[in-house]
Amino acid sequence: MQETPFSRIARTSRRLNIALFGILPIALILISALLWGAQRIIKQEEDRLLMDFAVVVGYIHEQESFLIQFNKENQRLDGRPPVDDTELTTPLDSSHLGLRIYRGQHAMVAMPFSLFCAYPSECPVADSPVPAAAGYFADFYSTFWANSYFPAAAAFLINRSDSVGVAVPAINVKPGYGEPLLENTLLLVDDAVRSLLSPRTVLHPSKEPPTSASGSGMGVAGPQIRWFRPAGLPDRMLGIMPSGLTGSAWTNRAAANPMSMSLPCSAAGESTSTTGCCPLFSTTASG
């Protein structure tokens, strides 16, 4: 019997229906698997970002703990030099006119530090002892970060009354994590801190640096930690608060009240490169 056009159409339609109902479930399964995979990827990225953020916040809190604990320890010294004097090496070669950078070490196995000054009249003379604050700052730095889960960030002790400052660890000495401290970084931090603390600096209310809730403000009871982004270091943040050291800590110099600062990853950290935090520094200033 000859097949009519209608029967051919009906047979083709049945085949298409069978193919459609066979492919449709497979397509739905594939789409569902694709959506589930996309949701898993998004969830993993959210978890990773939350973990990175938690590490950054934890690193910042650790930097603040470093500054606060250093301030509290200094207040218990009763004005006495915290450690014996430490001898310095000869000044390192500097690419900046007038800048002198010395390397010091309180003991052979102690953390080396850099003492820097911009004017010869304010720099230590040959064979003179360094301020006691320098060796004490390096010792405290080593002790604190040895007991910390987080990697150490560079720290600075800056004397507001002159151009003298201390950096830990020393220039070109690699800390527990991250890159060694460079001369240009040291100068940028020193300039940023002194500009912030300059009496000529007037901060617009809307541009006031963020502060930590762990204090009531610099220059008043209960010193407060300030966080700001130093010029020339866009990927860094700087935390600063008074150190609590008295003038006697600078044993071979005129009295001055130092200030401590912490330069960590945005900190807390060199964000840490492994955690996604930004690099941070710690600083303490005096004066």
Span 177-189, pLDDT tens digits: 667 788 888 888 8
Span 190-247, pLDDT tens digits: 888 888 877 654 444 334 444 554 443 444 345 678 888 888 887 888 888 888 776 6
pLDDT category at 43 given cuts 50, 70, 90 is very high
Span 84-111, pLDDT tens digits: 556 666 666 666 777 888 887 777 777 8
Span 115-159, pLDDT tens digits: 888 887 777 765 566 667 777 888 888 889 888 888 888 889 888
- Residues 41-51, mean pLDDT to the nearest whole number: 93
Phi, psi of 231 (to 5 degrees): -65, 140
- Residues 257-272, mean pLDDT to the nearest whole number: 38
Report helix, strand or coil for 216: coil
Phi, psi of 82 (to 5 degrees): -70, -30
**Which letter does DSSP use for residue 91 in this model?**
P
pTM: 0.69
- Please state, in angstroms and rounded to a whole number, the distance separating the CA atoms of residues 168 and 153: 9
